[in-house]
Amino acid sequence: MGLTNAYRDFICQVSTSSPSAPTLFNAANAYVGVGSSSATFSATHTQLLGQMVTGGRRGMEQNYPTASGNTMTFRALFTTGDANDQPWWEWGVFNAATNGTMMNRKAETSSLGTKTSAQSWQMTVTLTVTVA
């Protein structure tokens, strides 16, 4: 996992509103996406490599995201009709329902499992950033 170059640029943009204020990773615009690619992360990635099409990106649950000091938390619920029948290998946080800026991408070393329409999966992502 890592933060992407696109998110690095986002930090510059949001700090200056230049050339324009970017779309924030807020309650209205933050999404968690899941995909089926296990390819190793690169900071140059701008999207998930195997983004699931049907319900593969879900918006925030009520009262999310949250931020406290240097910690951000995002929570999304994939209901019975979402992101089914493919193994969940990768995930990331976005600021749009499609495309947009990918904050981070994590390709797991073993699959998180294959969801079916019999289940709902809730993913909570907490990122704490420290600069020393």
Partner 1 sequence: MTEITFNSIEDYEAFLREYESLPKSERGEIHIEERVVLEKFDGDVNDASPVEVIEIVNDIVNGEIINSERREVKNGSN
Residues making contact with partner 1 (CB under 8 A): 1-3, 43, 77, 79-80, 91, 104, 106, 108-110, 112-113, 115, 118-132
Q: Are 95 and 13 in contact (CB under 8 A)?
A: no
When the beta carbons of 29 and 104 are compared against partner 1, the nearer one is 104
> Minimum distance from CB of 39 to partner 1 (Å)?
15
Q: β-strand 71-78 against 2-3: which pairing, if any?
A: unpaired
**Enclosing H/E stretch for 31:** strand 31-35
> Minimum distance from CB of 111 to partner 1 (Å)?
10
When the beta carbons of 17 and 131 are compared against partner 1, the nearer one is 131
> Minimum distance from CB of 35 to partner 1 (Å)?
14
**Which DSSP string corresponds to 16-29?**
HT-SSPPPPSSTTT
What would the two tokens of residue 85 be?
Answer: 């029948």
Give the gyration radius of the chain's Cα atoms. 14
When the beta carbons of 96 and 112 are compared against partner 1, the nearer one is 112
> Minimum distance from CB of 85 to partner 1 (Å)?
15
- CA 40 to chain CA centroid, Å, is 16
When the beta carbons of 20 and 118 are compared against partner 1, the nearer one is 118
